Amino acid sequence: MFIARENEINELEAKYQTGNFEFVIIYGRRRIGKTRLIEEFTKDKECIFFSAMKDGSRNESLTQLSKCISGSEGDDFPIFPSFQSAFHKIAGMALDRRIVFVIDEFPYLEDNDGYFSSLLQNTIDREFKKTKLFLIISGSAVSFMEDSVLGYNNPLYGRCTLIQRLQNFDYYDTARWFPNYSSYEKAILYGVTGGVPYYLEQFSPELSLKDNLKLNFFNGSSVLFNEVENMLKEELREPGTYKEIISAIANGKTKYTEIADACKTKSGALNKYLKTLIELKIISRKMPMGGDEKKAIYHVSDLYFRFWFFFVPRNYSAILSRRIQNAFDVAVWRLINDYMGKVFEMISREFLEYRDKDLPILPADVGSWWGGNPKTKKECEIDVVMKSATDNRVVLGSCKFTNSPIGIDELKLMEEYADAMGTKGKRYYYFFSLSGFSENLVASSSDTIRLIDIDTLYDSIDQEPSGHEPN
């Protein structure tokens, strides 16, 4: 089953239809669905699909490429004496017909053969450009792909005709995987998988959300229980240190000094670790709208990591002993709305940025704001702030993932917070609620006061009633 990625497929198809030589680079973090996208695109096309081997020698890689070119499923196929000769063969095949040539996990080749980019660049310039070849290279090492393959000093710089960096699915496309889940369940599904296709594939549409969570997160032998450890070991040289830093942030140590104290890490070293985690998009550094550096905080932005560190460590022994299966409602489900509070803010921002057809402004900056309230002398926060790109109008959002409806008092509070923030232009107040709104707030709704319940966020996806009470 292939879901979403319509824009990426359409872009690839448009390039394919030119009939000219095209060079496409597709990259993104592991598990994001690069190979699956390429397979979907090439399913009805003549394709040579070569997947580079991690830690493979040049001879092993050349043997594998020779097998891919021959189309042999056995061991009887000619082995090319060099990559140059293999590429020359592909160029000859593509002189008068459209062929897709895929080099999957290109960084593995570059690691093993330092001049591979130069070799490919030379072949593109001398041979491939004269053919109908559709060349795709892909990679999971994001920093390598951006700095080395796409970097100015790389031989391949300026030769590609399409670049696609695959991102996680947003909340809406995540919900398309499970159209029969309620809106409440769809939101939680996004909150635990972060829209990563590989993680979504672990969930069964035949099981309830609770049973899927028990099977995939609270089971010592499951993929998603072990993924944090495996991914950190695969990506990083000091997985234990990085795990400690993520844990500190997940447990509320969001300021730089708090993280350093909790992990007993020197300031200079911590900078390196935080930068790496930001590059991997596991954490992010946030500032309130307006850019006050002194108020910068760190948070776990990868929702899979966020959920894992919120629930797994505290229940680790119960998971390994399997006692968690009987204690799930008390140990996990009872706290799910608390966990989902910040996730719901992310969902609300994504709705405004990408899905709201009635958005009153052309958006520029989107984020949140926190700071001092001069009236109360206390800290206050606005969950969602969206500034206009054309004037000084602003959208201000309040997001509540609770079992109580939002009342008129929240509107008054938002007006007070907006004054504290110092907004100058026209204000549009958006209220996002899991459990609806009080009658007096509904009566106050207007073109500047908009009320959005959870079902509205998923309106065009077939679904059952939201049924959001934890049970």
Q: Where do the structural domains in the chain lie, given as residue ranges?
A: 6-165, 171-338, 340-457
| Residue 23: per-residue pLDDT | 97
Residue 72 CA to chain centroid, in angstroms? Answer: 37
| Residue 125, φ and ψ in degrees, nearest 5 | -65, -40
CA distance 342 to 309: 14
171-338: CATH number: 1.10.10.10
Distance (Å) of CA 294 to CA 78, 374, 420:
64, 18, 17
Q: Say what the pTM is.
A: 0.91
Give the pLDDT band (50/70/90) at residue 74. low
* Distance, CA of 364 to CA of 234 (rounded, Å): 37
- Strand ranges for 181-290 from DSSP E: 283-286
| Residues 98-114: tens digit of each pLDDT | 999 999 999 988 865 55
Nearest-angstrom CA–CA distance, 454 and 414: 20
pLDDT of 75 higher than 50? yes
On the question of pLDDT at 345 being above 50, the answer is yes
Task: Give the pLDDT confidence of 216-271 residue by residue, as tens digits.
Answer: 999 999 999 999 999 999 888 899 999 999 999 999 999 999 999 999 987 778 99
As a whole number, mean pLDDT of residues 397-411 equals 97
User: Which residues lie below 8 Å from residue 132, measured CB to CB, with a gap of 6+?
Assistant: 19, 20, 21, 94, 95, 96, 97, 98, 99
- Rounded CA separation 13/31 (Å): 23
Task: Name 50's bridge partners.
Answer: 103
Q: Residue 292 pLDDT > 90, yes or no?
A: no
Does domain 6-165 fall into CATH 3.40.50.300? yes
Select from 3.30.110.40, 3.40.1350.10, 3.40.1440.10, 3.10.200.10 the CATH code of 340-457.
3.40.1350.10
Residue closest to 431 by CA, chosen among 339, 335, 351, 337? 351
DSSP per residue over 382-434, as a string? EEEEEEESSSS-EEEEEEE-SSS-B-HHHHHHHHHHHHHHT--S-EEEEEEES
Closest CA to 438 of 409, 414, 461, 417: 409
Give me the percent of the chain exceeding a pLDDT of 90: 81
Whether the pLDDT of residue 37 is over 70: the answer is yes
Which pair of tokens denotes residue 241?
Answer: 């240190």
pLDDT given at position 114: 58
pLDDT at 111 (0 to 100): 61
Quickly state the pLDDT bin for 470 (edges 50, 70, 90). very low
pLDDT of residue 380: 94
Distance of alpha carbon 246 from alpha carbon 30, whole angstroms: 19
| Residue with tokens 């991102």, as numbered in its chain | 167
- State the DSSP string of 11-41: HHHHHHTT-S-EEEEEE-STTSSHHHHHHHH
- For helices 267-279 and 239-250, give the axis angle rounded to 10 degrees: 90
**Is the model more confident about 336 or about 237?**
336
Give me the mean pLDDT over the 110-120 stretch: 76
